Chain A
Amino acid sequence: MKFDPFVIPFNIGLFFILIYAVVRSIIWFRALSRPDKLRLQRGFFGRPFGQSLKEIFLESLIHRKIFKTNFLLGYMHMSLAFGWFLLILFGTIEADIFGDSHLNPPYKAIFFKYFNPVHGMTGIEAAYSFLMDLILAFILSGLLLAVIKRFYSRVVGMRKTTKLKTLDRIALTSLWMIFPSRLLAESFTSGAYGSGSFLTGSLGSSLASFLPAIEMAYPFWWLYSISLGTFFILLPLTRYMHIPTELFLIFARNSGIRTGDQPGAFMEMQIYSCSSCGICIDACQLNFSAGITNIQSAYLMKGLRNAEDVRDIASNCLMCGRCDIKCPVGIELTPVRMIARRSGDSEAGSKNGIWKKYFPERHPVAPEKQSHEPAYGWLPEAKVPKADVLYYAGCMTHLTPAVKNAMVKILDASGVNYDFIDRDGGVCCGRPLMLAGQDREARELINYNSQLIWKSGATTLVTSCPICYKVFRESYYLNVEVLHHTQFIRRLILKGSIRLSFLRKKVSYHTPSELGRRSGIYDDPKLVLMHVARFQKTGFDDENSLCCGGSLGNTRISHDQKNKIALDAVHELTKADPDILATACPLCKKTFAGVSDTPVADIAEIVAEALSLPVPPAGRKGKKILKHRETANID
């Protein structure tokens, strides 16, 4: 059996990282809740397994999602990950076929050239060696991009590249050295023996023409081995931990495990899966409109990994979810951020001891200490509305009376039996408290409103505010169907309960984050608009929509910063020169109206305008009245 002492660093590193991966996986597995453990077990032996393999191939190796966002960045990630994978795969096969024994220790494949210096001169061997050179060239091209990106981030299309800490820097350097040292080691060896293909062969022979090739080769083989070993040993302390973690994460996610609202193993896996690719930084309006450049999800993940006090970072975010959608690793960034927001006052992170660094304490955030006094003992005895349809305008809608009035007009015209929950202002839905991380307090408000809704005997709850909509749907236990007013209006149109004329106006639609990305309602508002006006696209539609800037999710940014975001957003959304900039959220409306030259209106207002125009032909009017009676008779 061939051996040389230079393979020792590589071997130490490799065994270390393998053992570490197993131990860490066990720790994570044990930290999962019981149901999650079951999920993972079922997932591992079921259909999700194949799904996961496919995803690992597409995302961890090919990096398809990064490709979609940014071609060069995708190429860079792919050439490193996929290229390395190919190099190991084909290297192992090479060592297996052409080496003198089968089932070799891993280092035989990695350092194949050293042990088989004259391999690859003719025939099939030469072709194989050409392939190996090609893969190496592929990796090196990606590496070149990575180096360029670090120094001139603009070239790769990134506005900003993530900042590094010392250990990351050492790991990065060792990572960068791996392939150049392999190139030189192989080239010198090839040069000495006249082997090697187009890359190592030609570089080798030209180097050998003026340098002592054999003597030069040996130190580079050492360097190659040391770089690999160092990289593996440092890996768990650096962001490169994302490479093994992501594999685990993909399995866990495909098995149906989700972040939920508690810190835990899954959250930790996600934190370690972040590759610091920086795509979330580019997606963030706080970054490109408001000039706030230190709170993006990449930094949150880093802060959490390093057990820093991240509450300032966590709070300074619009919760718009743009980064969630864009993150190529698919980390549930907003739920993770919510958990970080709920954390208590900072207690110094566990940062001492190298051991602690390899095995940090499991919960990266401390739960908030809670007092037990009820905060909202003052809530008034409420008058219970009795109706089929309850309308909850929402706090913000009371400051946009045009929206409220439009809804009253539509509700009146539809003939449904409805009542307000909050005609003269009501108790908040609770979501703003939740967004500030105060779930317990929010519960009190939720209970209060729930009681009203239960007692009302209603079947449908309609709200104008997407913030309320989301919390009604997700955090209330209700016996009614919850609809946003755009959904409700669409139904009225489909049922023929309201008849609308067509307005000759061009309308661009701003998808509110809370209604779109956060609640998944994209089509209803658009369909309603298409029904009453000339709908036009904005380039920031659906999942790619912008945040208006007024989000209650952010408790930190100033009025000026909000305005900057709003101004930029309005500028983008009105590029097609619409007559009206439509939205479906009172807060978006108010935020935009402050800065927009184009009139801003809620969809409800546009529908109410279409309602007021006299259009129904005489013949059908009777039918319409009949419809009203029908609905009226139901109650």
Chain B
Amino acid sequence: MHKADKKRVVVIGGGAAGLEAAGQLARAGCIVTLLEKESETGGHVKNWYHLFPDIRNSDEVLKYLVRQADHGNITVRTGVTAGSLEKNGKSVIVKTSRGERIISDAVVLATGFDLFDSRRKEEYGYDIYHNVISSADLEVMFREGSVKRHDGEIPQRIGFVHCVGSRDSKVNNLYCSKLCCVTAVKQAMEIKKHIENARVYCFYMDMRMGGALYEELYKESQESYGIVYIRGKVSEVSDNIDSRLIVKVEDTLAGRPLRMELDMLVLMAGMEMSESGMRLAESSDLQTAENRFFAPADHHFGSNRSNMDGVFYAGTCTAPMNITDTISHARAVVADVTDYFRNINA
């Protein structure tokens, strides 16, 4: 069984997928080096406040993840970027930004995702109007405990724009980011918790509530929180003299254009293949799909395998997924890695 014993594995990326994968591999006997490009691990999770569907504090998840990676077999190296991968016989050489060559028996890519840069949808006015913020900005506000407009006022009317940078061929992202609908629902409810009298509106094209307990959350947001859902994609945002935001949308169900004045607008930024992932794909000939995420070797039974022997994927570098799925995917990579060791030793 212990074919994985003392095998050297490099995990690239220290977010949810990377930490979990490293932890599980270490427990299977591998000697793991975890590379994180930033100064600390935790990835996007550490920027989030509460997580859907149960509104638990994300710190709990973060703590679990850090504990997972706290193992004698794991060396965590922060501030290191992987430049390219190279096969050398059976081993894979990871070249780092610092010019090192780390020799390993297998590599797990957990390079994750980047949040869509909302400035690319200029018509929504991010970085132009002060009170247009992104879902990530709002999460920071939640963490800091105060949701305020730029001028310090408490916003009374808040809108959420779904599908910003997702499902939009104008920014070359035709795919759905899967999480932003439920994130919007969660954030809308949280706004209500922060600002009791606030009126909250969600502008959506479709409510994609595919996860466990999502639909329930959606219903609760209507029933108990009075969140108003308007079906239509926002076309543009402008401001008026007292710097209220004016949103243009068609209420497609009523069949009439609708204008609304808001104090604050939250853009539900989608997920994109991370830039670091993209660079690795280019430098190391790893296949990517039409949506620019890594293309797994097989959609059904090889979602952790790449087109390069000894190189594996974990988490959102292959597609948008929530934390639950990311952790499952990261666990699954261990099965593929150990399988691989068994085969090359045979």
Q: In the assembly, what is the distance between CA of A199 and CA of B293, in Å?
A: 68
How many residues does chain B have at the interface if contact means C-beta atoms less than 8 Å apart?
A: 14
Within 8 A of B (CB), among A388-435: 398-402, 405, 424
Please determine whether A593 and B128 come into contact, CB atoms closer than 8 angstroms: no
For residue A537, CB closer than 8 A to chain B, the reply is no
A590 close to B238 (CB less than 8 A)? no
What is the minimal beta-carbon distance from A583 to any residue of chain B, in angstroms?
13
**A401–B237 contact, CB under 8 A?**
yes
Question: Scoring B residues 113 to 146 as 1 if CB is less than 8 Å from chain A, else 0, what string do you get?
Answer: 0000000101101001100000000000000000
Residues A399 and B236 in contact, CB atoms below 8 Å apart: yes
Does B170 make an interface contact (CB < 8 A)? yes
- Residue in contact with A401 in the complex, picked from B170, B172, B238, CB distance below 8 Å: B238
- Distance of B322 from chain A, by nearest CB (Å): 28
Interchain CB contact under 8 A, B122 and A400: yes
B120:A401 contact, CB within 8 angstroms: no
Contact B125 A401 (CB under 8 A): yes
Q: Which residue of A lies closest to B168 (CB)?
A: A594
Distance between A141 CB and nearest chain B CB, rounded to angstroms: 49
Within 8 A of A (CB), among B206-244: 236-238
Q: Does chain B have a CB within 8 A of A559? A: yes
Is B169 at the interface (CB under 8 A from chain A)? yes
Of the candidates A402, A424, A595, the one whose C-beta lies within 8 Å of that of B128 is A402
Cβ B122 vs Cβ A593 within 8 A = yes
Roughly how many angstroms separate A228 CA and B153 CA in the complex, as a whole number? Answer: 89
Pair B171/A402 contact, Cβ less than 8 Å = no
A112, chain B: closest CB distance, angstroms: 69
Minimum CB–CB distance for A398 against chain B, Å: 6
When chains A and B are docked, how far (Å) is the Cα of A398 from the Cα of B248?
A: 12
Which residues of chain B are within 8 angstroms of A593 by Cβ–Cβ distance? 120, 122
The winner among B125, B170, B237, B246 for most chain A CB atoms within 10 A is B170
Interface hub of B120, B123, B125, B237 (most chain A Cβ within 10 A)? B123
CA distance A400 to B125 in the complex (A): 8
B238–A399 CB distance below 8 A: no
Closest to A398 in B: B236
Q: Are A590 and B169 in contact (CB under 8 A)?
A: no
* Residue numbers in B under 8 Å from A559 (CB-CB): 169-170
* Chain A minimum-CB-distance residue to B240: A424
Q: Give residues of chain B (172-197) contacting chain A, Cβ–Cβ below 8 Å.
A: 172
The answer on a CB contact under 8 Å between A590 and B172 is no
Minimum Cβ distance to chain B for residue A403 (Å): 9
> Closest chain A residue to B169 by CB distance?
A559
Chain A residue numbers with a CB within 8 Å of B122 are: 399-402, 590, 593
Closest A residue to B124 by CB, please name it. A401
Closest CB-CB distance, A515 to chain B, in whole Å? Answer: 20
Which of A399, A401, A424 has the most chain B CB atoms inside 10 A of its CB? A401
Q: Which residues of B contact A402 (CB under 8 A)?
A: 122, 128
The reply to whether B128 and A594 form a contact with Cβ atoms under 8 Å apart is: no
Query: Given A405-B128, A424-B238, A400 and B171 touching (CB < 8 A)?
Result: no
Q: Give the residues in chain B near A400, CB-CB below 8 Å.
A: 122-123
Tell me the smallest distance from the CB of B226 to a CB of chain A, in Å.
30
A594 CA / B236 CA spacing, docked (Å): 16
Smallest beta-carbon distance B38→chain A, Å: 22
CA distance A401 to B128 in the complex (A): 8
A304–B225 Cα distance when bound, in Å, is: 67
Chain A, 573-622, CB within 8 A of any chain B CB: 590, 593-595
CB neighbours of B129 from chain A (8 A): 401
Once bound together, how far apart are the Cα atoms of A595 and B171, in whole Å? 8
Interfacial chain B residues near A594, Cβ < 8 Å:
120, 170-172
Q: How many angstroms from the CA of A399 to the CA of B121 in the assembled complex?
A: 9
Residues in chain B near residue A590, CB distance under 8 A: 122
Nearest CB in chain A to that of B235: its residue: A399
A321 to chain B, nearest CB (A): 26
Closest to A599 in B: B119
Q: Please name the residue on chain B nearest to A596 by beta carbon.
A: B120
In the complex formed, the residue of B with least CB distance to A403 is B122
With CB as the reference atom, state the residue of chain B lying closest to A595. B172
CA distance A594 to B128 in the complex (A): 18
Chain B proximity of A393: nearest CB distance (Å): 11
- Cβ of A31 to closest chain B Cβ, rounded Å: 48
> Binary interface profile of B, 146-175, with partner A (CB < 8 Å = 1, else 0)?
000000000000000000000001111000
Specify which chain A residues have a CB less than 8 angstroms from the CB of B171 in the assembled complex: 594
Residues on B with C-beta less than 8 A from A398 are: 236, 238
Residues in A529-569 with C-beta less than 8 Å from chain B = 559, 563
CA distance A399 to B171 in the complex (A): 15
Complex CA–CA separation, A563 to B172 (angstroms): 9
A273 to B120, CA, bound (A): 47
A399 contacts across to B, CB distance below 8 A: 122-123, 236
Taking CB as reference atom, which chain A residue is nearest B172?
A594
A405 to B170, CA, bound (A): 23
For window 359-411 of A, CB contacts with B under 8 Å fall at 398-402, 405
Closest A residue to B259 using CB positions: A424
List chain A residues, Cβ under 8 A from B169: 559
- Scan residues 86-122 of chain B and give those whose CB is less than 8 A from a CB of chain A: 120, 122
Most buried by A among B129, B236, B237: B236
Docked Cα-Cα span, A399 to B170, in Å, equals 13
Q: Report A-chain residues with C-beta under 8 Å of the C-beta of B170.
A: 559, 594
Q: A593 vs B126: C-alpha distance in the bound complex, in angstroms? A: 14
CB neighbours (8 Å) of B125 from chain A are: 401
A125-157 contact mask (Cβ, 8 Å, vs B): 1 or 0: 000000000000000000000000000000000
Q: What is the bound-complex CA distance between A401 and B170, given in angstroms? A: 17
Which chain A positions have C-beta within 8 A of B123?
399-401
Q: How far is B123's CA from A470's CA once the two chains are assembled, in angstroms?
A: 24
Q: How far is the CA of A559 from the CA of B171 in the complex (A)?
A: 11
B125 to chain A, nearest CB (A): 5
Residues of B within 8 A of A595 (CB): 172
Q: Which residues of A contact B236 (CB under 8 A)?
A: 398-399, 401
A593 and B122 CA atoms in complex are apart in Å by: 9
Q: Nearest Cβ in chain A — how far from B272, in angstroms?
A: 13
Chain A residues with Cβ below 8 Å from B237 are 401
Task: Compute how far the CA of A559 lies from the CA of B169 in the bound complex, rounded to whole angstroms.
Answer: 8
Least distance between B258 CB and chain A CB atoms (Å):
15
Q: CB-nearest residue of chain A relative to B132?
A: A401
Distance between Cα atoms of A402 and B125 in the complex (Å): 8
Name the CB-closest residue of A to B123.
Answer: A399
Cα(A374)–Cα(B123), bound, Å: 32
- Give the nearest-CB partner of B170 in chain A: A594
Shortest CB-to-CB span from A371 to chain B, Å, is 28
Chain B's closest residue to A560 (CB) is B169
**Once the chains are docked, how many angstroms separate the CA of A595 from the CA of B172?**
8
Docked complex Cα distance between A595 and B170 (Å): 9
Chain B hits for A405, CB < 8 A: 128
Contact with B along A223-259 (1 / 0, CB 8 A): 0000000000000000000000000000000000000
A293 to B80, CA, bound (A): 49
Q: How far is the CA of A590 from the CA of B120 in the complex (A)?
A: 9
Contacts of B246 in A (CB 8 A): 424
A593 to B172, CA, bound (A): 11
Name the residue in B122, B236, B246 with the highest tally of chain A Cβ atoms < 10 Å from its Cβ.
B122
Give CA–CA (A405, B172) in the complex, Å.
26
Report the separation of the CA atoms of residues A295 and B237 in the bound assembly, to the nearest whole angstrom: 38
CA distance A221 to B70 in the complex (A): 99
Max chain A Cβ within 10 angstroms of own Cβ: one of B128, B129, B237: B128
Bound state CA distance, A626 and B169, in angstroms? 51
- A589's closest neighbor in chain B, by CB? B122
Complex Cα distance, B171 from A593, in Å, reads 9
A401–B120 Cα gap in the complex (Å)? Answer: 12
Could you list 13 examples of A-B contacts with CB < 8 Å? A399-B123, A399-B236, A401-B125, A401-B129, A401-B236, A401-B238, A402-B122, A402-B128, A590-B122, A593-B120, A593-B122, A594-B172, A595-B172
Nearest 3 CB-CB pairs, A to B?
A399-B123, A401-B125, A401-B128
15 more CB-based (< 8 A) A-B contacts, given A401-B125, A401-B129, A401-B236: A399-B123, A400-B122, A401-B122, A401-B123, A401-B237, A402-B128, A405-B128, A424-B246, A590-B122, A593-B120, A593-B122, A594-B120, A594-B170, A594-B171, A595-B172
